[in-house]
Amino acid sequence: MIRVLAALLSGCLVLPGLAQARVPVSVRVSPAAVRAAAPMPPALVRPGIPFASSLPPAAVLTPLPPVSAAEVASAVGALGFVAQAAPGVPAAPAAEAKAELDRSWEGSIRRIVVFDPETSRETRLDLVRQAGWTVIRDLWLVNAVAVSAPARSAAELGVDLMASPEVARVEEDARVDWVPEKPQPERARRGLLGWWWQTVPWGVKRLHAPEAWPVTRGAGIKVAVVDTGVARHRDLKLAGGASFVAGEEWWQDGRDHGTHVAGIIAAQDNDQDVVGGAPDVELYSVKVLDKDGKGTFESVIAGLQWCVERGMHLANFSITHPTGNDVLAAAVKAAAAAGLVMVAAAGNTARAVQFPAAYPEVIAVAAATSWNSAADFSSFGPEIDIIAPGVGIPSTVAGGGTGKKQGTSMASPHVTGLAALALAAARGLLRGYAAVRRALQAAATKLPDTPDTWQGAGMPDARKLVGFEIAVLDLSDNVSSKQTNPR
Ligand SMILES: [Ca+2]
């Protein structure tokens, strides 16, 4: 009774019956697509939903198969890289790897040694060890090995490595900040009322996600939050994860950043706290940044490699770096070729778009206010693909309850949630970053009086994304049409 009364007062409790009743879903299906598609799995059909019942039985959705080792190797090989390790092959025995990680953290010099694609994994590891470096991790996705050495000997060791004909180049690596403070930080306040009822955040409503849920809530789509980790929280259901932060084997959130991002994507639809844009996705925490928001290129690329290895469909990067580097660019390209769809925060600099968002294979997201304008801190440029709510965003916080945050870090997971809905609604017909980007943009409406460099195609609408006309766009051309800023 208290819950119902509270809901009437706040107007924001989600009652499944009501949510379904107000959904106008118009569906157009091309005959060719119907012929090409297989029956919709019963689990995805919710009884009484116009979408399901109005479609011919053969209209929708074959299960999206996980990316196999052979597919990854083939896709990566097509780029000139050689994938040396099949999924599940550890880079080193666990005890050895941990000992090396512990030794290699503070007070050392780090490098990423990139080899010619023909070089085998064993040769790569042998060469760096013979040169006196400590192996941190084999980055098979880009034919590289991340290494470290005491600062006083690193310069001399670097010369030795470059003398090897198998070594293509050696990149510097360091522990740097990937989560810069926001220009006007909002204090995260724990909402006590979340114990008694659920609030649908304004961003989720603005993108019309609840009206798409009768079609799909993202079930079956694997989404990785590549971030500071995700905390245990009563409103978050994690399917798994991994940590690539030295000395921290668990994927808990040390900074209360990844937890907030995760809630925007997939906070549970229950009677507590908030609800994400795609509450039924399989959510994974890929921890690449420590409690200070800092990490190395090695840790970020290792997280990306894990996403490819484990067959993630989507990865959210609410993390930014001002320049990126060649190895990260290669890793992003290889992951995209393997089928991973990457969505990233544009940055909060009010200047050029940051990385990885600025890479052509990544969907770059700007931040909007609730007044239908771009946020003044949002990074801008020709790389911006789309805009989503990023100011005054309530979501799950570490320690329990909810709090508000702002930034393109909050805008990106809104788009990741919608991309998950689109993939779930169009399984087997929507594949690859370029197709997902095109679907998002086709479902977007531009904000008034806002330059394209600040908003891309505008704000996407989940109702259009799960409509079948989006899914049967001509998706054969997977070449990026994204403009890039020559910097
Ligand atoms: Ca909830």
Quick one: pLDDT at residue 220?
A: 96
Of the residues 104, 285, 299, 409, only one is catalytic, namely 409
Q: How far is the CA of 7 from the centre of ligand 1 (A)?
A: 14
Is the peptide bond preceding residue 356 cis, with omega within 30 degrees of 0? Answer: yes
Quick one: pLDDT at residue 248?
A: 86
| 399 dihedral zone (left: phi>0; alpha: psi -120 to 50; beta) | left
pLDDT per residue, tens digit, the chain (487 aa), is: 444 334 333 433 333 333 333 333 333 334 334 333 333 222 222 222 222 222 233 333 333 444 444 444 444 334 333 333 333 333 334 444 444 444 445 578 899 999 999 999 999 999 999 888 999 999 999 999 999 888 777 666 656 788 889 999 999 998 889 986 554 445 545 556 677 789 999 999 999 999 999 999 999 999 999 999 999 999 999 999 999 998 888 888 988 899 999 999 999 999 999 999 999 999 999 999 998 899 999 999 999 999 999 999 999 999 999 999 999 999 999 999 999 999 999 999 999 999 999 999 999 999 999 999 999 999 999 999 999 999 999 999 988 899 999 999 999 999 999 999 999 998 778 999 999 999 999 999 999 999 999 999 999 999 999 985 554 454 444 444 455 544 4
Quick one: pLDDT at residue 468?
A: 54
Q: How far apart are CA 418 and CA 463, in angstroms?
A: 10
Of the residues 173, 227, 269, 385, only one is catalytic, namely 227
- Does the active-site annotation cover 102? no
- Does the active-site annotation cover 227? yes
Cα pseudo-dihedral 328, 220, 397, 440, rounded to 10: 60
Question: Can you give the pTM of this predicted structure?
Answer: 0.77
Q: Checking DSSP bridges between strand 108-115 and strand 144-150, what pairing results, if any? A: antiparallel
Q: How far is the CA of 196 from the centre of ligand 1 (A)?
A: 10
Domains and CATH numbers, the chain: 2-54 (no CATH), 82-173 (3.30.70.80), 192-471 (3.40.50.200)
Sort 316 into a burial class: Cβ within 10 Å, 0-12 / 13-18 / 19+: buried
Q: How far apart are CA 429 and CA 399, in angstroms?
A: 40
Closest to 85 measured CA to CA, from 128, 133, 145, 134:
145
Closest to 32 measured CA to CA, from 479, 477, 471, 478:
471
Q: How far apart are CA 34 and CA 318, in angstroms?
A: 37
Per-residue 3-state assignment (H helix, E strand, C coil) for 258-307: HHHHHHHHHCCCCCCECCCCCCCCEEEEEECCCCCCEECHHHHHHHHHHH
Q: How far is the CA of 90 from the centre of ligand 1 (A)?
A: 37
Q: Is the distance from CB of 75 to CB of 308 less than 8 angstroms?
A: no
Quick one: pLDDT at residue 20?
A: 35
Q: Which two tokens stand for residue 314?
A: 């989507």
Q: How far is the CA of 342 from the centre of ligand 1 (A)?
A: 25
Q: Is the distance from CB of 123 to CB of 135 less than 8 angstroms?
A: no
Quick one: pLDDT at residue 67?
A: 45
Quick one: pLDDT at residue 157?
A: 66
Q: Which two tokens stand for residue 181?
A: 């403070």
Quick one: pLDDT at residue 153?
A: 72
Q: How far is the CA of 283 from the centre of ligand 1 (A)?
A: 15
Quick one: pLDDT at residue 412?
A: 98
Q: How far is the CA of 335 from the centre of ligand 1 (A)?
A: 32
Give, for 148, the enclosing helix (H) or strand (E).
strand 144-150
- Does the active-site annotation cover 409? yes
Q: Is the distance from CB of 404 to CB of 186 less than 8 angstroms?
A: yes
